[in-house]
Amino acid sequence: MNSIVTGDFPYIHGFSADEQSRLVRQARMFESTLFSHIDYSGAKRLLEVGCGVGAQTEILLRRFPELHVTGVDRSSEQLAVAERNLGATAWCAQRYALQQADAADLPFAERSFDAAYLCWVLEHVPSPARGSAKFAAYSAPAPPHT
Ligand SMILES: C[S@@+](CC[C@H](N)C(=O)[O-])C[C@H]1O[C@@H](n2cnc3c(N)ncnc32)[C@H](O)[C@@H]1O
């Protein structure tokens, strides 16, 4: 039985091992559809909000070999599994950083990144529109020098 496992904060899907492996299956199932519309070639530093167990992180790093991904998640349980999954994947080595943070209060300066990605996350964030605007600001390109 897939029971809800409570963790650091209330989260509808919980943090059971079944749920964590579901995230990996889900990411792979939707990969070709989703990434047929996404192109990060040219980006170097990507912020992934709500990276979970690193299922999308692995895909990003595999598809875009120039990328470094900073994955943040509110859950220490998810991040521990992300570290295990990505640490066991050769092409991810030294190309990611994981950090515990709330999407509503990210510890980054604007323009710290040149791209941002989130998937299956906004429905868990209290103010999705405000959050999206902030994620865009973290990843906005610097204005041209005059
Ligand atoms: C459905 S999972 C998706 C994970 C990953 N994006 C993927 O597609 O595999 C949602 C993730 O958002 C995280 N999350 C929920 N609320 C959050 C918040 N306020 N700030 C950061 N992460 C949050 C959860 O811990 C969970 O890992």
pTM of the model: 0.92
Q: Which two tokens stand for residue 132?
A: 């999206």
Distance 21 CA to ligand 1 centre (A): 14
In the chain, where does DSSP find H-type helix?
17-35, 55-63, 76-87, 128-138
Distance 90 CA to ligand 1 centre (A): 24
Q: Which sequence spans correspond to the domains of the chain?
A: 42-138
Q: Which CATH number fits domain 42-138: 3.20.20.70, 3.40.50.150, 3.40.630.10, 2.102.10.10?
A: 3.40.50.150
Write out pLDDT tens, residues 22-53. Answer: 999 999 999 999 999 999 999 999 999 999 99
Write out pLDDT tens, residues 127-143. Answer: 887 778 777 888 876 66
Contacts (Cβ under 8 Å, ≥6 apart) of 24 = 53, 55, 85
DSSP 47: E
Q: Which residues face 72 on adjacent strands? A: 49, 99
Probe ligand 1: pick from 19, 73, 85, max atoms within 8 Å of CB? 73
Helix (H, G, I), strand (E, B) or coil at 146: coil
